């Protein structure tokens, strides 16, 4: 049987980190002398690379302000991690799903807007780092929905688009997959609505992680 690759988004798909993302963004905006962004808008941009996400939140700001918010966000998030108060729980059923897929012969990868450091810390905390053959982050690629990180994961795994599925909670994930001619599956427990994922091109949307195992 040929190899098959399942590429997962992280925030909103594997883990729920929205509380600390929103808190860190509040701190970052305050540091830059800007009013706190609407938290619903912050959730909408989770998954994008940080500079792109911040620019969407402050469209009229000067580049220096955007850069200041980006730096302050990284500092705030890192401080939470170092203080031991960063909580990014795995969604219920994700650990079992990953173990199931690995046992069924799937290669696993992550494509995320997180940094290398943030992703490594997250996966190590949950003891699932070694399940993944490829980890692609915003440190080395253009922001989603650019296809670069997904294509890099396929190249690293040695598979083509026809052997790959992208799994994510945002339209950024789905558009990236469609543009790369990869099968796209959405998840209903993240930050964009199921109908948005279908409209963006998802083949289907899973309501719980166990559904993904059946869809795959």
Write out the catalytic residue numbers. 9, 11
Cβ-proximal residues to 29 (8 Å cutoff; 6+ apart), any chain = 35, 36, 37, 58, 69, 72
C-beta atoms surrounding 82 within 10 Å: 9
Instruction: Report the first-to-last Cα separation within the chain, whole angstroms.
Output: 15
Burial label, 141 (beta-carbon count in 10 A; 0-12, 13-18, 19+): buried
How many residues are there in the chain? 216
Q: Using an 8 Å Cβ cutoff, are 136 and 154 in contact?
A: no
Compute the distance between CA of residue 137 and CA of residue 150 in angstroms, rounded to an integer: 10
The SS3 call for residue 53 is helix
């Amino acid at each position: 049987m040929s190899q098959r690759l399942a590429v997962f988004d992280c925030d909103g798909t594997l883990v729920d980190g929205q509380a600390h993302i929103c808190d860190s963004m509040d701190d970052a905006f305050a540091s830059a002398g800007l009013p706190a962004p609407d938290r619903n808008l912050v959730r909408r941009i989770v998954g994008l690379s940080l500079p792109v996400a911040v620019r969407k939140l402050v469209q009229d700001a000067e580049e220096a302000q955007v850069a200041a918010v980006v730096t302050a966000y990284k500092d705030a998030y890192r401080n939470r991690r170092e203080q031991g108060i960063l909580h990014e729980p795995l969604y219920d059923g994700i650990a079992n799903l990953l173990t199931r897929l690995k046992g069924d012969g799937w290669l696993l990868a992550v494509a995320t807007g997180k940094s290398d450091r943030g992703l490594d810390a997250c996966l190590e905390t949950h003891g699932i780092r070694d399940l993944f053959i490829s980890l692609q982050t915003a440190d080395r690629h253009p922001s989603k929905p650019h296809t670069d990180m997904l294509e890099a994961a396929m190249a690293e795994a040695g598979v083509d688009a026809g052997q790959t599925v992208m799994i994510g909670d945002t339209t950024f994930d789905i558009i990236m997959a469609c543009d790369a001619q990869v099968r796209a599956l959405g998840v209903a427990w993240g930050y964009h609505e199921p109908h948005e994922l279908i409209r963006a091109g998802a083949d289907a949307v899973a309501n719980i992680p166990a559904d993904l195992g059946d869809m795959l």
